[in-house]
Amino acid sequence: MLDQILNLVKQYGQQSVVDNPEVPNQYNNQVMAEAASTITNGFQNMASGGGLQSILSLFTGGQSQGQGNGGLLSNPIVSMMVGHLANRLVSNMNLNPATANSIANNIIPNVINSMVSKTASNEPQDSGFNLNSLIGSLTGGGSNAAAGGFDFQGLLNQVSGGQNTGGGLSDIISQVTQSAQEHQQSQQSGGLANLISGFFK
């Protein structure tokens, strides 16, 4: 799933970063790498902080309400990522705050909106977008080992279909939280950061 996120950042970064005269060309890849790590770290921090339900509601709410980018900006996860990215662009690359805000408000909601709609899609070209692989990548469990092989994509389909998912969710949340924390600690060596910066070269 990480590859898909990186490709989306590259796609939406073309206009708001590469073609943007306010961003010096030598910073283009750095800005996009920062955006990608903001998104991946944001989701990972949510998962390791017990916020699996917030991630699930982002993916179910996004598709059932058709909220688009405007509605996404009011989501606390998304607004937190937007603010974080804007601050990083100002402090690390000395970008003008208005430019940094514009980039963050463009890339983050667009990428997450695409992730939400592609994860809900049954189109073959969107098969790489899967909640199991997203949560698996956050917990280090691969595509289907998160929380003991629990089917998050199935849960997403149930929730969006209006079915009651039962009471086992709190057990799953605690399993995912623990796995994400362990995975986060094992990544402190910078493996994810190196992977992301290597992609934008």
Give the pLDDT of residue 145: 44
* Coil vs helix vs strand at 165: coil
Q: pLDDT below 70 — which residues of the chain?
A: 61-71, 141-150, 155-169, 187-192, 195
Q: Among residues 176, 200, 201, 179, which one has the least CA distance to residue 37?
A: 200
pTM of the predicted protein model: 0.80
- Span 155-174, pLDDT tens digits: 666 655 544 455 566 777 78
Output DSSP code: residue 190: S
Distance CA 54, CA 21 (A): 36
Domain locations in the chain?
2-199
Distance CA 99, CA 89 (A): 9
